[in-house]
Structure 1
Amino acid sequence: PSQDKKIFALQGPCPVIRRLLRARGWVERKERGAGRGIPESSCSSWLPDEEEEEEEEEEEDEEDPEGIHDLMSRLVRDQVPYFIWTTRGSAVRGRLLQPDQVANHYARVGSFTTKEGLCLTLRNLPWFDQADPDAFFPRCYRLGAADERQAFIEDFRLTAARSLLKVALERAQDTGAAPLSLTPRPAPAEGPGAQLVEEALRVCGQHLGSLTHRDIDGDPQPPGATDAAWDGFLRGYYRAVHEGAVPRLSGAQREQGRILLQRLAGRLPQLRMEGDRNVWILKPAAASRGRGITCAARLDEVLRLAGRAAREGRWVVQKYVERPLLIFGTKFDVRQWFLVTDWNPLTVWFYRRSYLRFCSRPFSLRRLDAAGHLCNQAVQRRCGPRGARHPRLPPDNTWSCRQLRAYLAQRGQAGAWGEVMVPGMKAAVVRALRCSQGLVRGRKGSFELYGADFVFGEDFRPWLLEINASPTMAGGTAVTGRLCARVQRDALRVVIDRRDDPSCSTGAFELIYKQ
């Protein structure tokens, strides 16, 4: 931009952006009075359909002992700001911006920045890419829609049948003998236990047949299975898996179960990460910072929570990754930044640095509390350190991706990050954006920085959990303080410096997709 257009406006605490723009010779336009706001004529109200990260960030404005910056701000208070940076996930109305104004948000991005939007949008992926969303996004249902609620119930039941077979086969393998009891509590070879196994085999066999023949109208329930019959099956499943009363398998049942699970694994990308306890996670459809999220492993509990939640707003239920990659027995997720600088053609930049967020309690599916399962830093600060904790885990629950790579290298898995984890994250981000492209109100000249959250399976495959608009830039730890400053610096290199010098450095941002 020309010198007379180097005027910017900020809304919210943005000390890094202010410092970087001032270093480039830009002047901040502040609201009359003491505020830092954006003129009403240039900015919309906050949109309710965007997921926001409202984490507090301390304003650390550098000293201005001679009042030069304040003086310059007063001189441009009636001028148009040509660069607008806002926090809290607001979108700037494109029709109120002049063509040469730049803003750091797009409108109508809720199609991928809310849990409900992402759940719906990714179902359209086959129209945009020859890929299965189940391969990177845990299956998800909107509990407020009657058909999706019923689909979830059927999914829970089918997952329970698979899980029963899995735990019975695993324990049979541990004992090395099919006819022996597989639990400290004796279970009869015949009667309810045997009937439970036969029912699971029948359900899984019919489901496999439905998948094999792509019979989309077929009922996955076995003939004659009523809700009451399913309730009885689930009671037996809970006794077997949650309480350890696993029925013994005959040799024929072992063989049939092994073959069924092997064939289902070829059709169900999520079977490996399911585990055997059938845990699901209930989430508010458009909240952030882990608020309201609950894990449950019983259908009646999920539906009870969903009923209560329905009175409070829209909720989704999503399959929990029961077999995550752990570090020192503790769950973590990765916050991965990416930048969109155009929606037509779609242009995506991926940040080569990211950070890990650890839980404060060791991972266990027998205790579904927030401290062991929700990696969000705001949640973990409320939980505080509890119980035994590995001494090599960071006290502030954060690592850089560089520390993760060093950890993997120590374990002889140095290639996992670059060969599996990063390529999988890139693919998931691009696919989510391609599905949303027709729904977002794109605007030439604007851009937006997003934060995607991933958890990884034991096989290092990434599972996309959510995408946040306005990811927090609060440097609450040494790692986040350093990386959040760098990602803002590099974002300005991409969106400002490249306009004058296309060959300039873009820091750690890498162009990964341009239509």
Structure 2
Amino acid sequence: MGNKKKDVNTQFLLDKQITNHYDKNFHLISKNGLAKSLKTLSFKQINFNKFFPRTYEMNNQSDFVDFCEEFKYTQAESILKKHIENYQNNIEISKVKRLQILIALSYIKIKNQFFTQKKYVSPKSISQEEWIILSEQINLEQYLQDSNFYNKVFQKTIKKLNEDISNITQLIKNQLEISQKNDPQYTLNGKSNIWIVKPSGLSRGRGIRTFNKLEQLLQYVSGKELGWITQKYLENPLTINNKKFDIRQWVIVTDWKPLTIFCYQECYLRICVDEYNEENLSNKFAHLSNNCIQKNANNFQEKVDETMLFQNQFEEYLFKKTNVQDFFKQKILKQIQNIIIDSLVSVQNIIQPRKNSLEMYGYDFTIDEDYNVWILEVNSSPSMDYSTKVTEKLVKKVLWDTVDIHQKCDKGWTPLLKACSLGRTYFVNELLKRGANPYETDDKGENCYDKAQKFDRNQVLEILKNKDYDENIQLEDRL
């Protein structure tokens, strides 16, 4: 029986002994560790908000306060999106709803100022009285019957209640367009303001819940010993037959200094048994695509072959949907690879490097309806169960191919970064972002990773010019 990572002290290993884990990897594989690490990318001028849903540690006082405020602002945006839908369907807007809409609109204007102004402006906090209106915690008609309270708190807003609703709606559309243009996480938000709560140290979907009521969410995490993170839930997911899915991608790191990354050439999809329904948040078989969750569904055995797809099946699905050849490799896979590189760069100087070691990670991604890829989490010791026909075939292949992985034999594995110093790490990442395809080779059989090793220092610096990835260490010293 093999030892667990916690039972192995790498300080006492001989150089020739091989391990399949690195020390301090919790900065990558724990949910709060990944969130902290990715946020450091901002110091390297990498915008993690474009691929990592906003995440808050609930046992961190600053994060807790920020989350509560962000929840309320996102609620305001959800109300406005719902109003646009109701207006288009000619649904009558009550006086209370108008008040709610106007309050929401005022705060989206404030949020948009935060995005568009060059200097930092702290967004205004939503008052308790305003939150009562926005969250509809009680019967608002009865609540607002107190004319003194009503006139005192909402005096400016009341004057606008009789304004033509079409004018108000146009203002809302204008503000939402500004949000869409400036907020990199706009596509995560829908009309329901759904958030997902995860225990930081647990795996296999344990303890995960979804909420769209702030008070219920806070009650769920309060007083519990586990560290919890709250993350924005993707409300506009790309679906297959109206079912949510995620993508499992295997990645191996064989060295941290220099960073050497291999990405397996076949990923696979894990699909929910039940159709996606944002109105029923308690149905985990519609919201959590982990196989450990889905296999407990009553109808799992009937639909087991529908719960996973090979990569080539997904490629065919995307081609039928977009009518674009190689859409997966050109649009989806490139994003996945960039995110993998950025995530590993974020922990390169934290995880303890060791020669004669390697570690496999299971990266989980989801895709929104605009084909933006979002990272969900990174798993150490990813499951290798023969849970379906898909995993039975792929697990056998990846295990054999992993035995062969080294510098001169990368059968089954695509080298994302192959023995690159940190400066060249950013350089190859820049090539990928400029459209380099890791699968394409020239007439000499060389791909972008091979070519990266042949560029001299001046050529690398020229491409990375004005890209200050690290203010503390000169880039020239890292090549």
Give runs of aligned pairs for residues 219-258 of structure 1, distance below 5 A.
219-221=123-125, 225-235=126-136, 250-258=165-173
Distance in 2 between the 1:237 and 1:422 partners? Answer: 47
Distance in 1 between the 2:271 and 2:355 partners? Answer: 38
2:17 to 89, 98, 101: 101
2:316 to 389, 401, 406: 406
Distance in 2 between the 1:451 and 1:404 partners? Answer: 19
Distance in 2 between the 1:475 and 1:202 partners? Answer: 53
Question: Structure 1 residues 414, 305: closer, same or farther in 2, change over 3 A?
Answer: farther
2:62 to 138, 147, 150: 147
Distance in 2 between the 1:453 and 1:340 partners? Answer: 16
Q: Deviations over 1:21-46 (max 9, x none)?
A: xxxxxxxxxxxxxxx345xxxx7535
2:100 to 189, 196, 199: 196
Question: Structure 1 residues 452, 237: closer, same or farther in 2, change over 3 A?
Answer: farther
Distance in 1 between the 2:132 and 2:11 partners? Answer: 55
8 Å CA contact retained: 2:305, 2:388: no
Query: In the alignment, which residue of structure 2 is the partner of 1:82?
Result: none
SS in 1 for 2:377: strand
Q: Deviations over 1:198-243 (max 9, x none)?
A: 111110111111222255451333xxx422332332118999xxxx
Q: Deviations over 1:356-387 (max 9, x none)?
A: 1111111110111101000000111122328x
Give runs of aligned pairs for residues 4-23 of structure 1, distance below 5 A.
none
Identity value in percent:
28
Question: Structure 1 residues 414, 287: closer, same or farther in 2, change over 3 A?
Answer: farther
8 Å CA contact retained: 2:103, 2:130: no
SS in 2 for 1:460: coil
Question: Structure 1 residues 255, 238: closer, same or farther in 2, change over 3 A?
Answer: farther
Query: In the alignment, which residue of structure 1 is the partner of 2:187?
Result: 272
Query: In the alignment, which residue of structure 2 is the partner of 1:45?
Result: 6
Q: Deviations over 1:464-509 (max 9, x none)?
A: 00000010111121110111121121122114xx4xxx2x3x2221
Distance in 1 between the 2:119 and 2:180 partners? Answer: 18
Question: What displacement does 1:334 show?
Answer: 0.8
SS in 1 for 2:296: helix
SS in 1 for 2:207: coil
8 Å CA contact retained: 2:272, 2:289: yes
Question: What displacement does 1:461 show?
Answer: 1.4
Distance in 2 between the 1:207 and 1:215 partners? Answer: 13
Distance in 2 between the 1:145 and 1:231 partners? Answer: 25
SS in 1 for 2:122: coil
Question: What displacement does 1:312 show?
Answer: 3.0
1:317 to 204, 223, 230: 230
8 Å CA contact retained: 1:370, 1:383: no
Q: Determine if the alignment matches structure 1 residue 290 to structure 2 residue 205.
A: yes
Query: In the alignment, which residue of structure 2 is the partner of 1:213?
Result: 117
Number of matched pairs: 397
The one-letter amino acid paired with 1:385 is N
Distance in 2 between the 1:111 and 1:314 partners? Answer: 14
1:463 to 355, 364, 374: 374
Computed over aligned residues only, the root mean square deviation of the Cα atoms, in angstroms, reads 2.4
Q: Deviations over 1:113-149 (max 9, x none)?
A: 0111111111111123x32111111110001111111
- Normalised by the length of structure 1, the TM-score is 0.73
- Normalised by the length of structure 2, the TM-score is 0.78
SS in 1 for 2:273: coil
1:300 to 191, 212, 215: 215
Give runs of aligned pairs for residues 441-452 of structure 1, distance below 5 A.
441-452=352-363
Query: In the alignment, which residue of structure 2 is the partner of 1:75?
Result: none
Query: In the alignment, which residue of structure 1 is the partner of 2:43?
Result: 127
Distance in 2 between the 1:311 and 1:146 partners? Answer: 15
Question: Structure 1 residues 147, 488: closer, same or farther in 2, change over 3 A?
Answer: same
Query: In the alignment, which residue of structure 1 is the partner of 2:267?
Result: 354
Question: Structure 1 residues 37, 156: closer, same or farther in 2, change over 3 A?
Answer: closer
1:378 to 292, 317, 321: 292
Query: In the alignment, which residue of structure 2 is the partner of 1:118?
Result: 34
Distance in 2 between the 1:119 and 1:104 partners? Answer: 24
8 Å CA contact retained: 1:115, 1:316: yes
Question: What displacement does 1:416 show?
Answer: 2.7
Distance in 2 between the 1:249 and 1:351 partners? Answer: 57
SS in 2 for 1:452: strand
8 Å CA contact retained: 2:100, 2:133: no
Distance in 2 between the 1:483 and 1:349 partners? Answer: 16
SS in 2 for 1:372: helix
Distance in 2 between the 1:323 and 1:44 partners? Answer: 38
1:507 to 390, 408, 411: 411
Distance in 1 between the 2:138 and 2:361 partners? Answer: 41
